[in-house]
A and B are shown apart, each in its own frame.
Chain A
């Protein structure tokens, strides 16, 4: 493949740009240097070239910034092996994106074949190199440690990371598992799985575990029953022992009590509480005697108090009079408080009333009014507000009337005289507008011409029957695409199937040949053959033994040799037989595969026949020859569709143009009639211009007439407003006159009224205040008079002398109140004393009765008892002591009977027989304690076993552990496969690299050495290969024969070695399968001129049987290239 021209039609910043790669002169290397500054678009051009070859990538496009992705388009002129020069274009569509110069779809296989099946990535890796890649490649091949296979692979493929890849895969596998390593995934996983397994085993409630737990539980239940029974028996024994002890001790106690009772008097037992009752009665009799004496003293004392507090005879009359006085009120206030206030307030209120009278006189004088009642001119506040409002209205209306009058005068001055009225040209204007709508036919004419041109172009490549084909109906585009895809796929599949069938046949032949070879080999002896030769030997021996002749001897000898030889072959042919079996299997497999491949091929041929018939039918429908490739159907269908659309568009355009011309003539006629109507005469040719002129003049006159009419309307409106203002002013003055008619004022003008208004407001307020204070003075005087009358009546009741009673009434009233207070206190004391005396008399009677009852009760307490000579309290103490002894005796008897209740009689008898015994109770208690402990222990064991059994069912769910176990196993399974894949990958890759080194070393090493020496002379003189146990190593040779491992070379030298490897790889590919353009992007940027010159020489070597394209932005490299390579093509990057 050779790139002749790259077309950047719409791509990145480029539009309709092209880069031409001229073909070299005969014998000259094919080297093109593309020169352009940084950012000139070299990378854009390279990507454009890649997308032309391999199609656009999906998703966001990095070069779709000037044009939309859907509009991107690149093209190229390419020399393709077997096809010659071909102009191609590539758009961004998903399908059929590769087009020829006429925009017809081109099968991608055309380009893919020329690229020898390389993918885009593989092409980029193998046939492009930039400065960074060169530098990085040099560093990375150091990791190969000189491994020849890796280095040659790097040179061939452009992929330098083989060493890292193999290390990464090994690391990945080692992380999963490595012998004797700790912390590997599988080690940690196995540990965890064991841990989980143990927990699951222990925690899982299996049948066996459940049975074991159940047995434990049942055994604990039985043991508890036994211990509980023993405890019950021990308790009974202890109860019997305790009862016997009680019985024994109480019997002893009863004997002692009976002896003591003989020294006490006879008689029945006292009632319960008799001692306390006797003591209470004695105390009660003494207390009642003391009460009788106290009552008599109290009676005498109260009689004295009654005598000292006698009754006041006048108190009732005085009290009635005072009540009446207290109930009297003035202005809803009590008379007493009102009169007291009046006596201090009256003089001050009278003085204030007189001062108001003087102020009223002053205001009247200010208004110039005299001899008029104040009430006649003291207006209400509402009347004053009404007058004030009327005055303000009059003032505002006067101002409005004057302003309106001034506006009328100004408007009259501005209006001026009326202009002439305009002429009515509405019919002429309507006709003119209608004509203008149809006047222009240019756009319709252009549409018509365009449609005609499109039709000519559309049908140019079509047969004469194109219209008939369209009328007959075209096949659907989807159908054609499907057929084309199916055809393309079928052809590719057929080719593949034929190749496969051939390969299978070859495989079969090869396997059969192998089998024949093996079968013919002397070692291919099976056990049946050995048995056969042994039988022949035995038979020969039998014959010889029977005959013992020379002939039988010879036969036997021959049979013996034959048998020995067969057996020897059999013994040494074990491996051969294995290979024979394997090869037989391979023959069977190869035969089956060959049959399958042939069946598949036959099926595809049948499919091809069917599809060919269908294609012929479709070709006919499209006007194509029956043998036309389906890939052309789409383009023909599209061309026919375009022609049909163009014909329809032309017919539509013709109809539209004709209709427009008819409308234009009709409108012109109507316009002429309208012009004639308004008397517009003149030559017919310039009718439209004349009409336009007349209509413009009419528009100007109409505007002037409208303005004057608007001014006249404004003047009329102002006049009406002036008249309205004057009328309102007169109405307001009339209303004010009515409101003030009754006032005796001297100045009744609008100004005089406005000045008098404040004085009228002041007079209104003063008059009101004067009336209020006069009413207050009268009320105070009435209160004082009423109080004096009441005081006089009280003085008469108390018989106070007249001169003394004429004094201050308040003093008389206070004396009355003091006398009534004293009388009330005496009444209270007297009543209290009389009550006390009555109570003392009642208490004395009750105490005498109670004392008699106590004496009787005391006698009844001692009825039937002896020791009557003792005082009541001593006597009862003696009897109580006697009854106490009797009680202790009875209690002891009851206690011993109670102790026997519920006790086993036999055990009781046994224990009573042992008494007295000082240690028996202790022994029994210890025995009980032991039984209790045993029972408690059994009970705890029973509970524990029941709990364990229950908890086994209720134990924490193990699902999480089971889940973790399953997940871990899945992870290990997946990890094991990945580790195996990594290990096997490394194994296969290392083997492949060894093969690569064997295959390519002879052809590539020469190129590598040539390029390396060219680049590095005189520092290096060659390269060599050292053989090691781990494989072949490439080393460099310095002058003097000193060899240097790759990893010991400098960074620059390694970069140059990498370039040499890439060059050798390119030459290898160019030899087989063929050359492709090599893109070198400024790889000499860091080279000095000597190295750059050497690199250019190597570029020339690329160009000897391929195409080298060198991008650079260094002018000195361009000059150097022209110096080193006189026939080099220098091309400037195009502008955008």
Chain B
């Protein structure tokens, strides 16, 4: 028996990258989460899997659009008509999946919840519980049914496990308890970076987000095809994302000629190319002469002729300084200035003034906790700008 396992689709949630200012890429990716989900269904049909398993967060609660629900039903019906049933649970973003408010999804689409936690398909029994509210702080595991004897038991759970970095505790669950519950396979959701755990014959798999939405989710981009036979559970990951994220670092310290700079950038950005997939690249440049704006202009020129690679963000930084070097009084004095209470007070005022004019969603970019990093960047920027524009 073969299953296609995915989770955290977040239908309707857009890509968050400045790379989408590129008109070609922007046009292509404005429906990225939906297009990728359609590719997931295509893959399930092409692979003739016995079931499509979705472990929650099919929708994104920030984009509560019933049209998205209609899209989901259309895609799952397509799978059903091709002989692929779907088993799914609600995650913490899935109010649109509420069967009490919106009704059933259709034939051969099994939404598991407290009232109907189990469905049997062929030699396997699928167990799952759904989120009824956006926040659940206790473990769901004690409420999961006992394994069905003589069958292969598959569990679906949307959980942050013991608490994953970057995720609040949602239905936390101890990993060892999960593996000891008696199921053969756990299909998990909620954590967007993929991983897997094994304990003897038991496999727990977190497929990750199939379409990363920003640089922080760059490890995602795939789904999992699980083989559930008589022996140990096997699996393989398949890439489905339309857009991937990556980063590269270029050291331009020993390079001063314009053509050499372009050549170095072209080589680094070209190496980020992945056939059949667009890539948004975060470029880090080490230079003691070139500022962020100049590097961005060079990088844009270097990208001409490289298909499928776009700039997500550019950051230029000078090389780490030898603390004993006598070459830059300004940097030394600026660093000394940072330790002054008066300076920090003034800096926080500047930060607050900017923070308050930002939309609330992104004010965290200028939180007080960001001050140290911003000050380090500020010293680097002053140093790069004055060295880059120095008189001959």
Closest residue on chain A to residue B215 by CB atoms: A970
A204 touches B63 (CB 8 A): yes
Q: Per-position contact with A for B364-383: 1 when CB-CB < 8 Å, else 0?
A: 01100010001101110110
Q: What is the minimal beta-carbon distance from B390 to any residue of chain A, in angstroms?
A: 5
Tally of B interface residues using CB under 8 Å: 81
B327 touches A116 (CB 8 A): yes
B18 touches A988 (CB 8 A): no
CA distance A160 to B390 in the complex (A): 6
Please provide the chain A residues from 975 to 1001 with a CB less than 8 Å away from any CB of chain B in the complex.
Answer: 976-989, 991-993, 995-996, 999
B326 touches A982 (CB 8 A): no
Asked if A973 is an interface residue, CB under 8 A from chain B, the answer is yes
Q: Per-position contact with A for B58-93: 1 when CB-CB < 8 Å, else 0?
A: 000001111100100000000000000000000000
CA distance A153 to B385 in the complex (A): 15
Closest residue on chain B to residue A991 by CB atoms: B337
Please provide the chain A residues from 942 to 978 with a CB less than 8 Å away from any CB of chain B in the complex.
Answer: 952-953, 955, 957-960, 962-963, 965-967, 969-974, 976-978
B327 touches A58 (CB 8 A): no
A1073 touches B326 (CB 8 A): yes
CA distance A959 to B37 in the complex (A): 15
Asked if B30 is an interface residue, CB under 8 A from chain A, the answer is yes
Asked if B325 is an interface residue, CB under 8 A from chain A, the answer is yes
Q: What is the minimal beta-carbon distance from B292 to any residue of chain A, in angstroms?
A: 7
Inter-chain contacts of B374 with A (CB < 8 A)? 977, 980-981, 984
B329 touches A133 (CB 8 A): no
Closest residue on chain B to residue A1058 by CB atoms: B391
Closest residue on chain B to residue A60 by CB atoms: B257
Q: What is the minimal beta-carbon distance from B296 to any residue of chain A, in angstroms?
A: 11
B354 touches A988 (CB 8 A): no
- Contact for A959 among B31, B213, B324, B359, CB less than 8 A: B31
A165 touches B389 (CB 8 A): yes
Closest residue on chain A to residue B31 by CB atoms: A959
Asked if B333 is an interface residue, CB under 8 A from chain A, the answer is yes
Q: Provided the pairs A157-B329, A186-B357, A972-B358 are in contact, do residues A980 and B385 lie with their beta carbons within 8 angstroms?
A: no
Q: What is the minimal beta-carbon distance from B61 to any residue of chain A, in angstroms?
A: 11
Q: Per-position contact with A for B5-36: 1 when CB-CB < 8 Å, else 0?
A: 00000001111111011000010011100100
Asked if A207 is an interface residue, CB under 8 A from chain B, the answer is yes
Inter-chain contacts of B297 with A (CB < 8 A)? none
Inter-chain contacts of A190 with B (CB < 8 A)? 357, 359
B334 touches A988 (CB 8 A): yes
Asked if A90 is an interface residue, CB under 8 A from chain B, the answer is no
CA distance A959 to B29 in the complex (A): 9
CA distance A962 to B31 in the complex (A): 9
Inter-chain contacts of A123 with B (CB < 8 A)? 327
B26 touches A967 (CB 8 A): yes
Closest residue on chain B to residue A122 by CB atoms: B327
Asked if B336 is an interface residue, CB under 8 A from chain A, the answer is yes
CA distance A161 to B358 in the complex (A): 32
Asked if A766 is an interface residue, CB under 8 A from chain B, the answer is no
Asked if A59 is an interface residue, CB under 8 A from chain B, the answer is yes
Closest residue on chain A to residue B347 by CB atoms: A984
CA distance A190 to B354 in the complex (A): 13
Closest residue on chain A to residue B356 by CB atoms: A177
CA distance A59 to B251 in the complex (A): 13
B378 touches A988 (CB 8 A): yes
B365 touches A959 (CB 8 A): no
Asked if A117 is an interface residue, CB under 8 A from chain B, the answer is yes
- Contact for A159 among B21, B29, B102, B386, CB less than 8 A: B386
Asked if B328 is an interface residue, CB under 8 A from chain A, the answer is yes
B213, B214, B259, B381: which has the most chain A beta carbons within 10 Å? B381
CA distance A186 to B357 in the complex (A): 7
Closest residue on chain A to residue B359 by CB atoms: A193
Q: Provided the pairs A136-B392, A988-B382 are in contact, do residues A58 and B21 lie with their beta carbons within 8 angstroms?
A: no
Asked if A121 is an interface residue, CB under 8 A from chain B, the answer is yes
Inter-chain contacts of A992 with B (CB < 8 A)? 330, 333-334, 336-337
Please provide the chain B residues from 337 to 371 with a CB less than 8 Å away from any CB of chain A in the complex.
Answer: 337-338, 340, 343, 346-347, 350-351, 353-355, 357-359, 361-362, 365-366, 370
A205 touches B362 (CB 8 A): no
A59 touches B386 (CB 8 A): no
CA distance A995 to B335 in the complex (A): 11
Closest residue on chain B to residue A62 by CB atoms: B257
Closest residue on chain B to residue A134 by CB atoms: B391
B14 touches A962 (CB 8 A): yes
Asked if B256 is an interface residue, CB under 8 A from chain A, the answer is yes
Inter-chain contacts of B386 with A (CB < 8 A)? 159, 161-162, 165
B16 touches A970 (CB 8 A): yes
Asked if A645 is an interface residue, CB under 8 A from chain B, the answer is no
Asked if B133 is an interface residue, CB under 8 A from chain A, the answer is no
Asked if B255 is an interface residue, CB under 8 A from chain A, the answer is yes
Q: What is the minimal beta-carbon distance from B355 to any residue of chain A, in angstroms?
A: 8
- Contact for A160 among B323, B375, B391, CB less than 8 A: B391
CA distance A210 to B382 in the complex (A): 54
Q: What is the minimal beta-carbon distance from A134 to any residue of chain B, in angstroms?
A: 9
B329 touches A57 (CB 8 A): no
Asked if A298 is an interface residue, CB under 8 A from chain B, the answer is no
CA distance A1052 to B346 in the complex (A): 39
Q: Per-position contact with B for A638-658: 1 when CB-CB < 8 Å, else 0?
A: 000000000000000000000
CA distance A962 to B15 in the complex (A): 9
Tally of A interface residues using CB under 8 Å: 87
CA distance A784 to B34 in the complex (A): 109
Q: Provided the pairs A969-B16, A980-B350, A981-B374 are in contact, do residues A205 and B66 lie with their beta carbons within 8 angstroms?
A: yes
Asked if B260 is an interface residue, CB under 8 A from chain A, the answer is yes
- Contact for B292 among A59, A156, A978, A980, CB less than 8 A: A978
Inter-chain contacts of A187 with B (CB < 8 A)? 357
A976 touches B21 (CB 8 A): no
Q: Provided the pairs A207-B64, A985-B379 are in contact, do residues A117 and B322 lie with their beta carbons within 8 angstroms?
A: yes
B359 touches A972 (CB 8 A): yes
Inter-chain contacts of B238 with A (CB < 8 A)? none
A205 touches B65 (CB 8 A): yes
B365 touches A204 (CB 8 A): no
Q: Provided the pairs A59-B260, A988-B375 are in contact, do residues A207 and B14 lie with their beta carbons within 8 angstroms?
A: no
A962 touches B329 (CB 8 A): no
Inter-chain contacts of B67 with A (CB < 8 A)? 205, 952-953, 955, 957
A159 touches B387 (CB 8 A): yes
CA distance A1122 to B315 in the complex (A): 53
Closest residue on chain B to residue A190 by CB atoms: B359
B260 touches A60 (CB 8 A): yes
Inter-chain contacts of B377 with A (CB < 8 A)? 977, 981
Asked if A606 is an interface residue, CB under 8 A from chain B, the answer is no
Inter-chain contacts of A987 with B (CB < 8 A)? 343, 346-347, 350, 378
CA distance A986 to B324 in the complex (A): 25
Closest residue on chain B to residue A130 by CB atoms: B392
Closest residue on chain B to residue A56 by CB atoms: B254
CA distance A824 to B50 in the complex (A): 104
Inter-chain contacts of A176 with B (CB < 8 A)? 354
B382 touches A60 (CB 8 A): no
Please provide the chain A residues from 256 to 288 with a CB less than 8 Å away from any CB of chain B in the complex.
Answer: none
Closest residue on chain A to residue B361 by CB atoms: A969
B260 touches A168 (CB 8 A): no
- Contact for A977 among B323, B365, B382, CB less than 8 A: B365
CA distance A218 to B184 in the complex (A): 49
Q: A967-B18, A969-B361 are in contact. List 14 more A-B contacts (CB 8 A).
A: A57-B254, A118-B325, A119-B325, A157-B329, A159-B386, A206-B66, A496-B323, A952-B66, A952-B67, A957-B31, A963-B14, A970-B214, A985-B378, A996-B333
Measuring CB to CB, which residues of chain A are less than 8 angstroms from any residue of chain B? 55, 57-60, 116-119, 121-123, 125-126, 130, 132-133, 136-137, 140, 153, 156-162, 164-165, 168-169, 176-177, 179, 186-187, 189-190, 193, 204-207, 210, 496, 499, 952-953, 955, 957-960, 962-963, 965-967, 969-974, 976-989, 991-993, 995-996, 999, 1069, 1073
8 cross-chain pairs, A with B, having the tightest CB-CB distances, nearest first? A117-B325, A59-B260, A992-B333, A122-B327, A985-B378, A984-B378, A991-B337, A966-B14
Q: List 9 A-B contacts (CB under 8 A).
A: A57-B256, A58-B260, A116-B327, A157-B328, A204-B65, A959-B31, A987-B343, A988-B343, A988-B382
